[in-house]
Amino acid sequence: KEFIISIPASSANLGPAFDSGGIALNLYLTLKVAESDQWELISQSSFLPTDANYEENLIYQVAKETAKRHNKQLPTCKLTINSDIPLARGFGSSASAIIAGIELANQVCELSLSPDEKLTYGTEFEGHPDNIAPSLFGGLTITSKHFKNDVDWLRIPDLDLDVVGYIPEFELETKAARGVLPAYFSKEQATTASSISNVLIASLFSGNYELAGKMMENDLFHEPYRSELIPHYHEIKKEAKRCGVYGTVISGAGPTMVSFAEKGKGKSIAEHMQQFLQGYQISALQIDTNGL
Ligand code: HSE
């Protein structure tokens, strides 16, 4: 048995939709699976360690756990991994690896997992669903993990937007970027922050991208605290605005930033921004609408 699993990257938060909104992007983690008589892991990406012991690999660990939940044992496989998703930059590389593991177990153990089961499992491994859902389903997803650990979600498959990604050379671990956030918000802060998020989502659903961009740039949940961790945060926002983007935000926990722009304009904005900014890899990206 041989097959390929391909999972898109994602950008979470979109500013105020903290731990809830996410968008799938056309950078992919690809896993080639062949059943074999022993475990073998070949990684063909500069973003992944090449000499990885398979037991330490997140994809393997998640697959093993997923099989175990269904009282199955994972058959030995040869895994060939390729990835264009940079690690620890804010493009959901760990969520993509987690989904690869779930889908690996799903296929080799014939678990017939439903989309909701994949989302729930992925969220348990990752802690929050905002990168898991877009990588699974494609497009823009809005999720809510509430008290019983259920995850409810909605999806907009098509947004008329281009995305420009500003990827710096340095890494930022999500744990460190979560560490700078306040543990509590006052009632007034929480109400204002969630009202901004509500208007963001409503404007994205109704295609009012000007308003969406305004809301993106007025996040109160995390950007004011994380902006300190990202050199050029303010310059990138300002110059991108001069190029006419709707809004620029931190991608997930950073340090990558992303701008949302009118469809068709991403490439020229990326080219301009690359001239403007040293030490960043700047690319025009598309929204992936297929997911896993
Ligand atoms: N919503 C998460 C955060 C995404 O901003 O911390 C990164 O895992």
Q: pLDDT tens digits for 203-222?
A: 999 999 999 999 999 999 99
pLDDT band for 56, please (50, 70, 90 cuts).
confident
Q: Which of 10, 11, 14, 19 to mutate to test the pocket of ligand 1 (most atoms within 8 A of CB)?
A: 19
Q: How far is CA 138 from the centre of its chain?
A: 11
Does the pLDDT of residue 37 top 80, yes or no? yes
Query: Residue 88's pLDDT is what?
Result: 87
Find tokens 């931190």 and name the residue.
250
Query: Residue 141's pLDDT is what?
Result: 98
Q: List C-alpha distances in Å: 140 to 157, 178, 181.
A: 6, 23, 25
Distance, first Cα to last Cα, the chain? 19
Query: Residue 44's pLDDT is what?
Result: 80
5 Cβ partners below 8 Å, 6+ apart? 30, 31, 33, 100, 103, 104, 107, 292
> Ligand 1 center to residue 28 CA distance, Å?
19
Cα–Cα distance, 270 to 43 (Å, whole number): 30
pLDDT tens digits for range 132-174: 999 999 999 999 998 777 899 999 988 999 999 999 998 898 8
Q: Which of 141, 173, 180, 222 to mutate to test the pocket of ligand 1 (most atoms within 8 A of CB)?
A: 222
Q: Which of 10, 14, 18 to mutate to test the pocket of ligand 1 (most atoms within 8 A of CB)?
A: 18
Structure tokens at 183: 């543990």
Instruction: Name the β-bridge partners of 36.
Output: none
Shortest-distance atom of ligand 1 to CA 13:
1
Minimal-distance CA residue to ligand 1 atom 4: 252
Looking at 4-8, 9-13, 81-85, which range is the least confident one? Answer: 81-85
Cβ of 178 below 6 Å from ligand 1: yes
Instruction: Name the β-bridge partners of 128.
Output: none
Shortest-distance atom of ligand 1 to CA 253:
5
Shortest-distance atom of ligand 1 to CA 178:
6
Instruction: Name the β-bridge partners of 105.
Output: none
Helix 58-69 vs helix 93-108: crossing angle, to nearest 10:
40
